[in-house]
Chains A and B, each alone.
Chain A
Amino acid sequence: MATTTQDSSMDATQAALLAKVQPAELQEQPLVTNNRDFNWVTDKICRIVETKTPTWWWICMAVALMTASFTGLGLLWLVSSGVGVWGLANPINWGWAIVNFVFWIGIGHAGTLISAVLCLLKQGWRTSINRAAEAMTIFAVVCAGIFPLFHVGRVWFAWWLFPIPNSNGIWPQFRSPLEWDVFAVSTYGTVSVLFWYMGMIPDLSVLRDRAVQRLKKNAYEGAGALAKGMDIFRKNFYAIFAMGWRNAGNHWRNYEMAYLILAGISTPLVLSVHTIVSFDFALAVLPGWHTTIFPPYFVAGAIFSGFGMVLTLMLPLRALYGMHDLITQRHIDNMCKICLGTGSIVGYAYIMEFFIAWYGANPYESFAFINRAFGQYWWAYVMMFSCNVFTPQLFWFKKVRQNWALVWVMSIFINVGMWFERFVITVTSLANDFLPSSWGYYSPTMVDILTFFGTFGLFSVLFLLFLRFLPLMPIAEVKFVMPAADPHGHHGDEKGDHH
C-alpha cells in the first residue's frame, strides 16, 4: 500500500499504523453528481441571473404581487380604522398577529441553522442550499416584523420601542420580554443580512467579471442593444456590491475566518431569538404558557418549520432550473431527517407538557391542557398534532424520502401544522384562563385573513427578486466541496500524493 506522503503533519508512527490498519476508502455520495467541472457550476448558477427572464417568473411575480397587495390593503384598513378591525377581543388580545409573527420568525430559523450550525459542524451538503435558505430567513423576518409593528396600534409611534429619547422623556422598559424581542429580532434580521451579504461577495464578483468579459468580447450581434445595456448594468451593479473582490489567497484567508466567526456567533443568536420569542409566553403567569420547556421546544419547532419551508421552496426550484446535480437526493434525505428529528422533539414536547400538567398537580395547568386537546379548539389541536407529530414519522422510510412529490406535500403539512401549533398555544390559553366569567371564543376577521394571506405574496415577491438578481447558490462553496478543489489531488495523478 502506498503510504508515501508529502504531508508533514503525518509522522512515521501514524503512517506505520495506517499501513497496518489499511483503512477502507469511505465511499460517500458526491455532493455534485455527474462529474461536473468548475465551469459547469459557474455557468449553471450564473446563467439563472444572466439569461432572459423566463415566462413562469413573470406569471409568478404577477400572482405574488397581487397576493401581497392583500397585506397592503389589510394594513391600510387597520391603520385607518384601528386594531379593532382584527378579531381581537377580551380575553384574547393576542390573536393571529402573534401567531403569524412566531410562525414567520420560526421559518427563518432553518436558514440560519443551515448557514451557521451546519457550517460549524462541517456539513458539506449545506453548500448548495444555504444561500436560498438565508434569503428565506431574511424575507421571513420581514414578514414577521409586520405583525407586531402594526399590532402596537399607532404604528407611527413604533419607534418608541427603540431606545431613542422621545418627547415624553420616557425610555423603553427593559424588564419586558417584548422589549427583549425588539432587540432579538432586529439583531437577528441585521446579522442575517450581514452574513448573507458577506457570503455573496465572491459570487457577486463572478457575475461582475462575467459581464466584463462579455462586454470585452462585444458579441451582441443579433442580441441587440438591450442585452449590452443589461450587461453594462450588471457590471456596475455587481461591481459596487462585490467591493473589488479579487479572489486572492489573502482575501480568502480573511474571508474564511470572518465566515467562521459569523457562523459561530449566529449559532447562539438563532438559539436566543426563539428562546426570547418563547419568553413572550413563558414569562406570563398564564396556565399553558408559564413553563420552562418553552425555549427548547420553540427552537426545535422553529427548525422543524424552517426545514419544512426550505423543502417547499427548493424542490420546485430544483425542477424548474434543472439543479438535480447540485441539490441531490442526499440533500433531500438529510433535510427530511432533520425534519424527522426536530418533529420528534416537538412531539415529545407536546406529550411532556401533558405529563407535567398532571405531575405538577396544579388544577389550572391540568385544565389548560385538557382544554387544549378536548375543549372548544380541539380541531386546531388535532391539526397541529397530526401534521407535526405523525407526518414527519413517514420520513423514516427511504421510499418516502425518495418520492420528491410526496416530500413536497409533506413539507406543506409541516408548515400548516406549525402555524396551528402557535395558534393553539396563543389562543387556547387566553380564551379560557383563570376567570370563567370572562372566557371567550376567538375568530379572525376578514382583515386578519387577508393580511396574513398577503404575507405569502410578499415573501414570494422578495424571493422571486432574489432568484432573478442574485446568485441562487454559493458558487465558491459548491466548488470547494468538489473533488477537483482538493489540493492533495485525490482525483489527480500527482506523484507522491497518495494519502
Chain B
Amino acid sequence: MSESYGIIASFPNTPAFFHAAEKVRDAGYKKWDTYSSFPVHGMPAAQGQPRSKVPVFTFCGGVSGFSLGLSIVWFMNAFNYPLIVGGQPFFSPVFPFPIMYELTILLSAFGTLGGMFITNLLPQHYNSLFNSDKFLEVSGDRLVIAIEARDGQYDPVATRRFLEEIGGTDIEEVSA
C-alpha cells in the first residue's frame, strides 16, 4: 500500500465545520487545514493561526517604490543630465512626488501579490489532496478538514475516530 497523505472528513454545514475546526485546534494537531470554496469568517482564529505575514511584503515593496521614485528623478534630472526647466532648482522632493506616489503603490501591489504567493507556498500544481474525488467537490459546496500523516499526533485509527467524534462524515484516507 502506498504511503498515506492523511485523512479527510467532510462536514454538513458551515457552523459544524467551524466548530469542528476549533476542536481539531484544541486537540493539539499541527499539520492540518480546513478546505472550503469561500473564506469562512473567523476561521483563522478557529484554526489557531497567527496574523498573515503579507503586510511585510507590501511594506518592503512600498519602501522600495518610494525610494526608487525619489532616486530616479534625482539621477535623471539632476545628476546624469541636469535639466533646466523654468529656472527651477534641478531637484526638489516636491515636484516628483506623483512619481514617488505611483511607484510606491505599484511596487506595494507587486509585493502584496508576491507575498500572497510566498506565504501560501504557491505555485504548487501538484498536491496529494487533488487525487481525492471528494476533495475536488470542495469547489462546489463540500467543507473538508484534512489532518496530515506527518503530524506528530497522527494515528490512522485514532485520528479517524476523532474526526468521527467531532461530526465528520465521508471520512477517507488520501494516499500520498
Residue numbers of A with Cβ under 8 A of B are: 37-39, 42, 163, 169-175, 177, 179-180, 183-184, 187, 190-191, 194-195, 197-198, 202, 205-206, 209-210, 212-213, 216, 239, 243-258, 261-262, 265-266, 268-269, 272, 276, 279, 475-477, 479-480, 484-489, 492, 494, 497
Question: Which B residues lie within 8 Å of A174 (CB)?
Answer: 73, 76-77, 95-96, 99
Check B105 for interface membership: any CB of A closer than 8 A.
yes
Query: Is the CB–CB distance between B52 and A254 below 8 Å?
Result: yes
Q: How far is the CB of A164 from chain B (nearest CB, A)?
A: 10
Q: How far is the CB of A232 from chain B (nearest CB, A)?
A: 16
Query: Is the CB–CB distance between A492 and B15 below 8 Å?
Result: yes
Known interface pairs A245-B122, A249-B47, A494-B15. Does A254 touch B116 (Cβ–Cβ under 8 Å)? Answer: yes
Contact with A along B61-100 (1 / 0, CB 8 A): 0100000000011001100110101101000000110110
Bound form: Cα–Cα A444–B124 in Å: 54
Question: Which A residues lie within 8 Å of B62 (CB)?
Answer: 265
Q: Select from chain A the residue with minimum beta-carbon distance to B97.
A: A180
Bound form: Cα–Cα A6–B125 in Å: 39
Bound form: Cα–Cα A254–B95 in Å: 37
Query: Is the CB–CB distance between B106 and A258 below 8 Å?
Result: no
Question: Which B residues lie within 8 Å of A197 (CB)?
Answer: 113
Q: 12 pairs across A/B with beta carbons < 8 Å? A: A171-B76, A202-B37, A254-B115, A255-B120, A258-B113, A262-B112, A265-B58, A475-B38, A477-B38, A480-B39, A485-B38, A494-B19
Bound form: Cα–Cα A250–B96 in Å: 40
Bound form: Cα–Cα A496–B39 in Å: 23
Query: Is the CB–CB distance between A42 and B141 below 8 Å?
Result: yes
Bound form: Cα–Cα A209–B102 in Å: 38
Q: Of B15, B46, B123, which one neighbours A489 at CB under 8 angstroms? A: B15
Q: Of A42, A163, A177, A198, which one neighbours B72 at CB under 8 angstroms? A: A163
Question: Which B residues lie within 8 Å of A261 (CB)?
Answer: 54-55, 58, 108, 112
Query: Is the CB–CB distance between B40 and A173 below 8 Å?
Result: no
Q: Select from chain A the residue with minimum beta-carbon distance to B127.
A: A246
Question: Which A residues lie within 8 Å of B140 (CB)?
Answer: 38-39, 42
Q: How far is the CB of B54 from chain A (nearest CB, A)?
A: 4
Q: How far is the CB of A379 from chain B (nearest CB, A)?
A: 36
Query: Is the CB–CB distance between B77 and A254 below 8 Å?
Result: no
Known interface pairs A262-B109, A272-B101. Does A247 touch B116 (Cβ–Cβ under 8 Å)? Answer: no
Which 8 A-B residue pairs are closest in the complex by CB-CB distance?
A171-B76, A489-B15, A487-B18, A38-B141, A257-B52, A258-B116, A249-B34, A479-B38
Q: Select from chain A the residue with minimum beta-carbon distance to B106.
A: A187
Q: Select from chain B the residue with minimum beta-carbon distance to A488.
A: B15
Question: Which B residues lie within 8 Å of A492 (CB)?
Answer: 13-15
Q: How far is the CB of A182 from chain B (nearest CB, A)?
A: 9
Chain B at the A interface: SS class: helix
Query: Is the CB–CB distance between B44 and A249 below 8 Å?
Result: yes
Among B143-176, those with CB < 8 Å from A are: none
- Number of residue pairs spanning A and B whose beta carbons lie under 8 angstroms apart: 218
Bound form: Cα–Cα A484–B98 in Å: 45
Q: How far is the CB of A492 from chain B (nearest CB, A)?
A: 5
Bound form: Cα–Cα A44–B24 in Å: 34
Bound form: Cα–Cα A249–B56 in Å: 20
Query: Is the CB–CB distance between A190 and B14 below 8 Å?
Result: no
Question: Which B residues lie within 8 Å of A257 (CB)?
Answer: 51-52, 54-55, 116
Query: Is the CB–CB distance between A258 and B54 below 8 Å?
Result: yes
Q: How far is the CB of A267 from chain B (nearest CB, A)?
A: 10
Known interface pairs A258-B54, A258-B113. Does A253 touch B49 (Cβ–Cβ under 8 Å)? Answer: yes
Bound form: Cα–Cα A346–B140 in Å: 44
Bound form: Cα–Cα A256–B51 in Å: 11
Check B3 for interface membership: any CB of A closer than 8 A.
no
Query: Is the CB–CB distance between A254 and B120 below 8 Å?
Result: yes
Bound form: Cα–Cα A177–B127 in Å: 50
Task: Kindly list 9 other residue pairs between chains A and B, CB separation below 8 angstroms, not including A163-B72, A249-B33, A251-B120.
Answer: A38-B37, A173-B83, A174-B76, A194-B110, A246-B127, A252-B40, A253-B44, A255-B120, A485-B14
Bound form: Cα–Cα A198–B125 in Å: 17
Q: Of A175, A250, A479, which one neighbours B85 at CB under 8 angstroms? A: A175
Check B103 for interface membership: any CB of A closer than 8 A.
yes
Q: Select from chain A the residue with minimum beta-carbon distance to B126.
A: A244
Query: Is the CB–CB distance between B109 and A194 below 8 Å?
Result: yes
Query: Is the CB–CB distance between A484 and B13 below 8 Å?
Result: yes
Q: Select from chain B the residue with minimum beta-carbon distance to A206.
A: B139
Q: How far is the CB of B72 from chain A (nearest CB, A)?
A: 6
Query: Is the CB–CB distance between B136 and A183 below 8 Å?
Result: no
Bound form: Cα–Cα A265–B88 in Å: 32
Known interface pairs A171-B83, A210-B139, A254-B52. Does A248 touch B35 (Cβ–Cβ under 8 Å)? Answer: yes
Known interface pairs A174-B77, A206-B139. Does A476 touch B15 (Cβ–Cβ under 8 Å)? Answer: no
Q: Select from chain A the residue with minimum beta-carbon distance to B53.
A: A254
Question: Which B residues lie within 8 Å of A209 (CB)?
Answer: 136, 138-139
Known interface pairs A38-B37, A180-B98, A484-B14. Does A253 touch B85 (Cβ–Cβ under 8 Å)? Answer: no
Q: Select from chain A the residue with minimum beta-carbon distance to B101.
A: A272
Bound form: Cα–Cα A474–B80 in Å: 48
Bound form: Cα–Cα A216–B136 in Å: 11
Query: Is the CB–CB distance between B13 and A489 below 8 Å?
Result: yes
Question: Which A residues lie within 8 Å of B129 (CB)?
Answer: 246
Question: Which B residues lie within 8 Å of A243 (CB)?
Answer: 117, 122-125
Known interface pairs A180-B99, A253-B49, A272-B98. Does A187 touch B39 (Cβ–Cβ under 8 Å)? Answer: no
Question: Which A residues lie within 8 Å of B19 (CB)?
Answer: 494
Q: How far is the CB of B169 from chain A (nearest CB, A)?
A: 16
Known interface pairs A175-B85, A476-B37. Does A254 touch B139 (Cβ–Cβ under 8 Å)? Answer: no
Query: Is the CB–CB distance between A190 and B15 below 8 Å?
Result: no
Query: Is the CB–CB distance between B35 and A247 below 8 Å?
Result: yes
Query: Is the CB–CB distance between A476 and B136 below 8 Å?
Result: no
Q: Of B72, B106, B119, which one neighbours A190 at CB under 8 angstroms? A: B106
Question: Which A residues lie within 8 Å of B113 (CB)?
Answer: 194, 197-198, 258, 262
Question: Which A residues lie within 8 Å of B116 (CB)?
Answer: 198, 254-255, 257-258
Q: Of B38, B98, B141, which one neighbours A480 at CB under 8 angstroms? A: B38
